[in-house]
Each structure stands twice: as C-alpha cells, then as structure tokens.
C-alpha cells in the first residue's frame, strides 16, 4: 500500500513515494507556496521533471 498525503494547497491526495513535489501534489502548488509561481523566471521545460515521476500513478492532471 502506498503512502498518500494531502496537498497543503489544493487538498488533493497524492502519493508520497516518488513524488518530487511532496508534500504538494505538483510543481504548481509547490511554486505557489514558495511564492515563486508568479515570477515566471524558472524553467519547467527541461526533461528533468519527467524522469522521476510516474504520472500514471500520480494522476497529476493539473500539471498542465
């Protein structure tokens, strides 16, 4: 059984394991919490955010 946590921002349940954004559900919620989301001066287009997350398990539709 996998450990699940609720995202502090949107309260969505997410898997703890293999979640690089924990305890948040996604990069978006983490960036919002850090206050950097509005700056748009970071890059999310590199491949590094695709290698460690199994999106089939995390169901992160709001990552788009």
Total residues found in the chain within this entry: 64
Q: How far apart are CA 21 and CA 34, in angstroms?
A: 12
- In angstroms, give the least distance from the CB of 37 to Zn ion: 12
Q: Cβ closer to Zn ion: 19 or 50?
A: 19
In sequence order, the 6+-apart residues with CB closer than 8 A to the CB of 3 are 15, 16, 17
Q: Cβ closer to Zn ion: 7 or 53?
A: 7
Q: Which of residues 1-40 bind Zn ion (CB under 5 A)?
A: 7, 9-10, 25, 29
User: Which residues are near Zn ion by CB under 5 A?
Assistant: 7, 9-10, 25, 29
């Amino acid at each position: 059984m996998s450990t699940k946590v609720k995202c502090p921002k949107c309260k969505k349940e997410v898997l703890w394991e293999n979640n690089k954004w924990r305890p948040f559900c996604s990069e978006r919620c983490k960036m919002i919490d850090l206050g950097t989301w509005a700056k748009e001066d970071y890059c999310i287009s590199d491949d590094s955010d695709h290698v460690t997350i199994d999106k089939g398990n995390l169901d992160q539709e709001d990552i788009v």
